[in-house]
């Protein structure tokens, strides 16, 4: 089956008429929880479709689905202005991040979640990165990783329940119709980092990111649907993973230069025919169990504050986030979750005394609460790490609270990560629990984004005599480490293991 890619002359962030206000709802499925001011139908439709998408991609990857260890949270902003207020970033339609609390999205829901809509595409695109990282051992160069996410996120379910992947995403048509593209040498040269540092637009309203995403989608579509190209891709990856320089790996693997690939893709685009893949699901995807709840004004205010805390970082002043928690408190009262969140915010300002007063208060109210104990431990560990009156008792207390969080939820990956990290910080010989926690964290944080930080966990495993578990982490960092320092450190670690 083939489809034609039309050209949309609509700009990425075009203004549309405002939609009517909706109540804030929470939609839960087995693997996701969505929170936002959207209609119940829209919320249920997006969560259902992401569950279907998850099943489809895992089936394509040959992975037997199992529940997410941490439910993926999806926050929605009602328009562009609210998204900018919550995140402190401009010119975006959504963000995905993985924190100690797990994977989290925030999306602009103003344009809706129907097929072809930007928010839906971003949700599927970003979740693809999580799926590939969490459920496979594959590490791809940046250009292919983004192109693969772009390709998979064209997913649709037809009337018979079959899954369709590969239909063109119309928004890429505008960039691909431009006379001058980003050179493919630049695109395929994006191995660890993106090939641009700003979103500066050209006279046609297009920036480097527009070309990179459109061309990476086109490249992956060509590779996956053209006879003989998947085998060349495997050769290319084998050469990269053997340590060959990127240019040599590309030319030997694909049997062409990037400039020749550029010309081939231009022809592929002009031919304007795109093959699709149809997948018959192993299980029925028509009925996804969902729980829907209308949130009170206080609950909605609290979740808005949580979204700000997760996504704002240095882009929003801490006082602004605290003000949002004040609104929630005015409606809900001083709950343990609000108090603990404030303790976390105080630590951002290096106010560890203030943080201690707050987390102690939260613990008094909810001594066994998972989130309260995790925040308390996080504050204590980062206080120790920053050298703020280092005390062995701080680490001892942090470990106690992490174990309490793990008793409440043994799958709390953030708690496992911090427990392992506490032994690396002090230089203590890792306990059995520390080694088990390091293994759990490594199994979850597989994304290329964590390659550098995972060296810390590998170092702990080596100290505990688990060299065989550390080796794959070290080998991955030698090739895929983001910084020269990380790659150099990985080479030293491997050399020490060979002695």
Based on the fold, state whether residues 306 and 239 are members of the same structural domain.
no
Q: What is the pLDDT of residue 10?
A: 26
Residue 222 covered by a domain: yes
Based on the fold, state whether residues 233 and 314 are members of the same structural domain.
no
Residue 253 covered by a domain: yes
Average pLDDT, the chain: 87
Predicted model pTM:
0.84
Compute the average pLDDT of residues 43-65: 86
Based on the fold, state whether residues 236 and 301 are members of the same structural domain.
no
Residue 290 covered by a domain: no
Tokens, residue 89: 């970033």
Q: What is the pLDDT of residue 155?
A: 86
Residue 438 covered by a domain: yes
Under 8 Å CB-to-CB from 20, ≥6 apart: which residues?
none
Residue 291 covered by a domain: no
Whichever domain contains 20, its CATH number is: 1.10.390
Name the burial class of residue 148, with classes exposed (0-12), middle (13-18) and buried (19+) by CB atoms within 10 angstroms of its CB.
buried
Residue 289 covered by a domain: no
Phi and psi at 264, nearest 5°, equal -65, -40
Based on the fold, state whether residues 273 and 363 are members of the same structural domain.
no
Torsional class of 307: left (φ above 0), alpha (ψ -120 to 50), beta (otherwise): alpha
Where does a domain end: 252, 279, 306?
279
Based on the fold, state whether residues 50 and 174 are members of the same structural domain.
yes
What is d(CA 349, CA 362) in angstroms, rounded to the nearest whole number? Answer: 19
Do residues 137 and 126 make contact, with C-beta atoms less than 8 angstroms apart?
Answer: no
Where does a domain end: 225, 248, 279?
279
What is d(CA 286, CA 294) in angstroms, rounded to the nearest whole number? Answer: 24
Number of domains composing the chain: 2
Q: Shortest CA distance to 265 belongs to which of 176, 151, 153, 140?
A: 176
Q: Shortest CA distance to 123 belongs to which of 34, 218, 17, 63?
A: 34
Q: What is the pLDDT of residue 202?
A: 59
Based on the fold, state whether residues 401 and 266 are members of the same structural domain.
no
Based on the fold, state whether residues 367 and 232 are members of the same structural domain.
no
Residue 462 covered by a domain: yes
Q: Which residue has the higher pLDDT, 202 or 418?
A: 418
Based on the fold, state whether residues 318 and 438 are members of the same structural domain.
yes
Based on the fold, state whether residues 232 and 336 are members of the same structural domain.
no
What is d(CA 308, CA 254) in angstroms, rounded to the nearest whole number? Answer: 44
Phi and psi at 120, nearest 5°, equal -65, -45
Q: Determine the structural domain holding residue 486 and report its residue range.
A: 297-497
Whichever domain contains 349, its CATH number is: 1.25.40.10
Compute the average pLDDT of residues 175-179: 93
Based on the fold, state whether residues 153 and 189 are members of the same structural domain.
yes
Radius of gyration in angstroms for the set of CA atoms belonging to the chain, rounded to a whole number? 24
Based on the fold, state whether residues 391 and 312 are members of the same structural domain.
yes
* pLDDT confidence tier of residue 440, bands split at 50, 70 and 90: very high
Based on the fold, state whether residues 260 and 345 are members of the same structural domain.
no
Summarize pLDDT for 354-382 with one digit per residue, the tens.
Answer: 999 999 999 999 999 999 999 999 999 99
Summarize pLDDT for 336-349 with one digit per residue, the tens.
Answer: 999 999 999 999 99
Summarize pLDDT for 145-169 with one digit per residue, the tens.
Answer: 999 999 998 888 888 878 889 989 8
* pLDDT confidence tier of residue 5, bands split at 50, 70 and 90: very low
Residue 338 covered by a domain: yes
Where does a domain end: 245, 279, 313?
279
Tokens, residue 451: 């390659």
Torsional class of 370: left (φ above 0), alpha (ψ -120 to 50), beta (otherwise): alpha
């Amino acid at each position: 089956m083939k489809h034609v890619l039309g050209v949309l002359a609509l700009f990425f962030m075009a203004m549309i008429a405002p939609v009517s206000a909706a109540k804030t709802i929470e939609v839960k499925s087995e693997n996701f929880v969505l929170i936002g001011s959207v209609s119940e139908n829209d919320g249920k439709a997006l969560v259902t479709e992401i569950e279907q998408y998850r099943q489809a991609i895992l089936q394509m990857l040959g992975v037997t689905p199992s529940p997410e260890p941490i439910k993926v949270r999806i926050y929605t902003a009602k328009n562009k202005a609210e998204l900018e207020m919550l995140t402190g970033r401009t010119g975006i339609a959504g963000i995905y991040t993985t924190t100690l609390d797990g994977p989290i999205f925030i999306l602009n829901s103003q344009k809706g979640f129907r097929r072809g809509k930007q928010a839906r595409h971003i949700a599927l695109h970003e979740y693809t990165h999580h799926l590939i990282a969490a459920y496979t051992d594959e590490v791809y160069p940046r250009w292919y990783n983004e192109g693969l996410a772009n390709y998979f996120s064209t997913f649709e379910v037809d009337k018979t329940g079959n899954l369709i992947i590969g239909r063109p995403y119309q928004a890429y048509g505008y960039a691909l119709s431009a006379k001058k593209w980003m050179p493919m040498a630049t695109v395929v040269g994006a191995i660890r980092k993106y090939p641009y540092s700003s979103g500066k637009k050209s006279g046609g309203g297009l920036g480097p990111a527009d070309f990179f995403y459109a061309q990476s989608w086109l490249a992956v579509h060509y590779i996956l649907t053209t006879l003989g190209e998947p085998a060349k891709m495997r050769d290319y990856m084998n050469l990269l993973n053997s340590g060959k320089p990127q240019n040599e790996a590309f030319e030997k693997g694909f049997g062409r230069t990037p400039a020749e690939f550029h010309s081939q893709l231009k022809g592929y685009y002009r031919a304007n025919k795109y093959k699709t893949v149809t997948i018959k699901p192993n299980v029925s995807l028509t009925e996804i169990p969902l729980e829907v709840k209308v949130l009170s004004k206080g609950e909605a205010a609290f979740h808005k504050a949580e979204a700000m805390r997760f996504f704002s970082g240095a882009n929003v002043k801490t006082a602004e986030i605290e003000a949002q928690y004040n609104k929630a408190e005015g409606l809900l009262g001083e709950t343990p979750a609000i108090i603990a969140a404030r303790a976390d915010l105080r630590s951002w300002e290096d106010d560890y005394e203030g943080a201690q007063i707050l987390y102690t208060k939260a613990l008094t109210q909810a001594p066994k609460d998972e989130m309260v104990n995790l925040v308390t431990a996080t504050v204590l560990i980062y206080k120790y790490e920053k050298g703020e009156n280092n005390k062995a008792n701080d680490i001892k207390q942090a470990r106690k609270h992490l174990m309490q969080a793990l008793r409440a939820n043994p799958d709390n990956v953030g708690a496992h990560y911090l427990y392992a990290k506490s032994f690396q910080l002090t230089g203590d010989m890792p306990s059995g629990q520390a080694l088990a926690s390091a293994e759990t964290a490594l199994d979850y944080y597989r994304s290329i984004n964590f390659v550098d930080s995972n060296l810390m966990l590998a170092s702990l495993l080596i100290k505990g005599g688990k060299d065989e578990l550390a080796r794959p982490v070290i080998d991955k960092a030698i090739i895929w480490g983001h910084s020269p320092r990380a790659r150099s450190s990985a080479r030293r670690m491997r050399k020490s293991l060979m002695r």
